[in-house]
Amino acid sequence: MKIIYNNILSSISNGEKLLAVLIDPDKTKPEGLSGFMQKLNQSIATHIFVGGSAVDDESTEILVVEIKKHTTLPVVLFPGDITQITNKADALLFLSLISGTNPSYLISKHIKAVSKLRYSKLEVIPTGYILIENGRQTSVEKVTNTKPLPIENVQQIIDTAKAGELLGKQLIYLEAGSGALHYVPLEIISLVKQELNIPLIVGGGIRTKKQLEDVYNSGADLIVIGTAFEEDDSFFDEIKK
């Protein structure tokens, strides 16, 4: 069953925009979550993504369990590695890093993940993950040993996204990287969106309400924000329901 994915599709067809708050187990202690989650629940956030580049398995599961005590929003894994896959979440972005040519992140890790997923009830959502240059090196680049696509190569970015769709991915994620200096350029978001028949996720470096609106207006269906909330959770007050 594709409950979460189908809900994303139906929200989009109703003209709604979606917001995922990214919670990184490496930076978030379960015991300090309560106030953060209260603010999150009063905001326009629609999803919670959990994941990070360098996290061990147990801390992800413990954090997911704790998050679910505080919210009814869907919790979606956005894993940096197989060790972060836990059945306590609702869904998994099964990410294939299609902007790079590192076989580990295109297929090898996915094969290793199957033993964890075969009998799991986690909803698995195939996602084409595209790293875009942002002005500085991000941890995704370091961990995956791949280069982001340069922002001058607009056609290559569009074609990469479209190739992801044609390969059967159900989501395309344009990623500038956590804490990016610059988020994905609005023109690129708009051109990619025009090519796609599947939902478009955009994340990395989005820090203000104005930027959030600009990225939505350019065509993002779902925006992911982590750092801005980590640094100052009063940002939730600006985006109350």
In the annotated binding site, the residues are 24, 53, 173-179, 204-205, 226-227
Counting contacts by CB under 6 A, is residue 22 touching ligand 1GP?
A: yes
Binding-site member from 179, 195, 214, 233 for ligand 1GP (CB under 6 A): 179
Counting contacts by CB under 6 A, is residue 131 touching ligand 1GP?
A: no
- β partners of residue 3: none
Closest among 195, 200, 141 to 12, alpha carbons compared:
200
Counting contacts by CB under 6 A, is residue 205 touching ligand 1GP?
A: yes
Binding-site member from 178, 192, 198, 215 for ligand 1GP (CB under 6 A): 178
Extended beta strands in the chain, E state? 18-23, 47-50, 75-77, 91-97, 123-131, 171-175, 200-203, 222-225
Counting contacts by CB under 6 A, is residue 184 touching ligand 1GP?
A: no
Q: Which residues are annotated as a binding site for sn-glycerol 1-phosphate?
A: 173-179, 204-205, 226-227
Q: For residue 79, which phi and psi values (nearest 5 degrees)?
A: -80, 140
Tell me how far apart the alpha carbons of residues 225 and 240 are, in angstroms, rounded to a whole number: 15
Please name the amino acid found at residue 14.
Answer: N
Counting contacts by CB under 6 A, is residue 125 touching ligand 1GP?
A: no
Counting contacts by CB under 6 A, is residue 221 touching ligand 1GP?
A: no
Counting contacts by CB under 6 A, is residue 21 touching ligand 1GP?
A: no
Counting contacts by CB under 6 A, is residue 180 touching ligand 1GP?
A: yes
| CB-based contact 172:192 (threshold 8 Å) | yes
| CB-based contact 66:74 (threshold 8 Å) | no
CB of 233 to ligand 1GP, least distance (A): 13
Which pair of structure tokens corresponds to residue 25? 């187990």
Counting contacts by CB under 6 A, is residue 28 touching ligand 1GP?
A: no
How many CA atoms within 13 Å lie on the side-chain side of 235? 18
- Whichever of 48 and 228 has its CB closer to ligand 1GP, that residue is 228
CB of 236 to ligand 1GP, least distance (A): 14
Which of the ranges 3-11, 108-116, 209-217, 224-232 carries the binding residues for ligand 1GP, by CB under 6 A? 224-232
CB atoms within 10 A of CB 151: 17
- Whichever of 17 and 120 has its CB closer to ligand 1GP, that residue is 17
CB of 22 to ligand 1GP, least distance (A): 5
Counting contacts by CB under 6 A, is residue 74 touching ligand 1GP?
A: no
The CA-atom distances, in angstroms, between 44 and each of 41, 110, 153, 177, 201 are 8, 32, 33, 22, 16
| CB-based contact 79:56 (threshold 8 Å) | no
Point out which residues bind ligand 1GP (CB under 6 A).
22, 175, 178-180, 203-206, 224-228
